[in-house]
Amino acid sequence: MTYHIENGRVVTPEGCELNVAHHCNLGCASCSHLSPVFTRSFIAPETAAHDLALLAKSFRAQFVKVLGGEPLLHRELVPILGSVRASGIAPRIVVCTNGMLLPRMREDFWAAVDEVEISVYPGKEIPEEKMARVRELAADHGVTLTLLHYSHFRYSYSEFGTGDERLVRRIYSTCQIAHVWRCHTVFEGHFFKCPQSVFLPRVLDDVADPWEDALEITDDPGFADRLLAYLRSPEPLRACRNCLGSAGRLMPHEQRTRRDFRLPQRHPTEDLTDRAFLELLDRTPDADDGCAVDSAAEWRSRLSGTAAGPASASTTHHTPEGT
């Protein structure tokens, strides 16, 4: 299914994303939202309410994914979730979290969401006795719990980028974030095709206009048509010169400090690209990126080294962004 206009609104077969906290309580290597190097910052509830209500006049998603950074750090998360619901932009609300703060969440949080997607990292698992309570609260409120267990990441960007326009186009055209998962992002009154085009310009030093890849959200009659053209455009974004899309080399998961987070990315795009996986993506757009599994047993096997390691397959896990 592709994008289309229905009753004056662009309809996507996937969702859109709202980053409510730009920092995190973890420092995951190659975080695609670059949260480990962002200062403590939150979206204002009134900003979220305004942007989503305005966008909802011209855009319809299947769900809104609320994430970060770590969204559970936001003290006004529940009112924001209420604004997401009230906007009518999508029938479902998904919160994507590393889960560390999930056992502290009150009943009003569970009443406000439809799904909680937990990214489980080595050494950062929720203790089983607390996880039992989380499962109980989710069941009581009819909330779906989805656990994705991470053993690896893919390099998400290059500090130096590339001038190879053909490589930039291949990275863009095979990008699962933009074209398969469609992680379209609402940020400060603008609509971005992917979160990387939001955050990379705000970290890299050589980007003159951080809004270059965005479409300003308006309520004029032509906005839906402009939005549809933007989503269908085959042209790479400015951020694609530094972004690795879905084709970055695999690295084992690890935690990094703010000081050393950017160091491994100080190589050209060519050095950080997984050429074999890029070729697979050319043939199989939804190939498994090799980072996460649903099964805790398979995850532990990967971590212990008893499994052969991540393999590219024909089915993909929707890798959570930035959490």
What tens digit of pLDDT does each residue of 108-146 get?
Answer: 999 999 999 999 999 999 999 999 999 999 999 999 999
Give the pLDDT band (50/70/90) at residue 314.
very low
Q: E strands of 103-174, at which residues?
A: 115-120, 144-150, 152-154
**Looking at the predicted structure, is the pLDDT value of residue 69 above 70?**
yes
Which candidate, 1, 16, 24, 92, places its Cα nearest to that of 54?
A: 16
Is the pLDDT higher at 45 or at 315? 45
Tell the burial category of 219 from Cβ atoms under 10 Å away from its Cβ (0-12, 13-18, 19+).
exposed
Q: Name, in order, each residue with C-beta under 8 angstroms of 12's C-beta and a sequence gap of 6 or more.
A: 3, 59, 60, 61, 62, 182, 184, 231
Q: Which residue in the block uniquely carries the two structure tokens 């003290």?
A: 75
Average pLDDT over residues 274-278: 98
CA distance 302 to 102: 25
DSSP sequence for 46-93? HHHHHHHHHHTTTEE-S-EEEESS-GGG-TTHHHHHHHHHHHTS-S-E
R_g of the chain, CA atoms, integer Å: 19
For 211-266, write each residue's pLDDT tens digit.
999 999 999 999 999 999 999 999 999 999 999 999 999 999 999 999 999 999 99
Percent of the chain with pLDDT strictly greater than 90? 87
3-state secondary structure of 240: helix
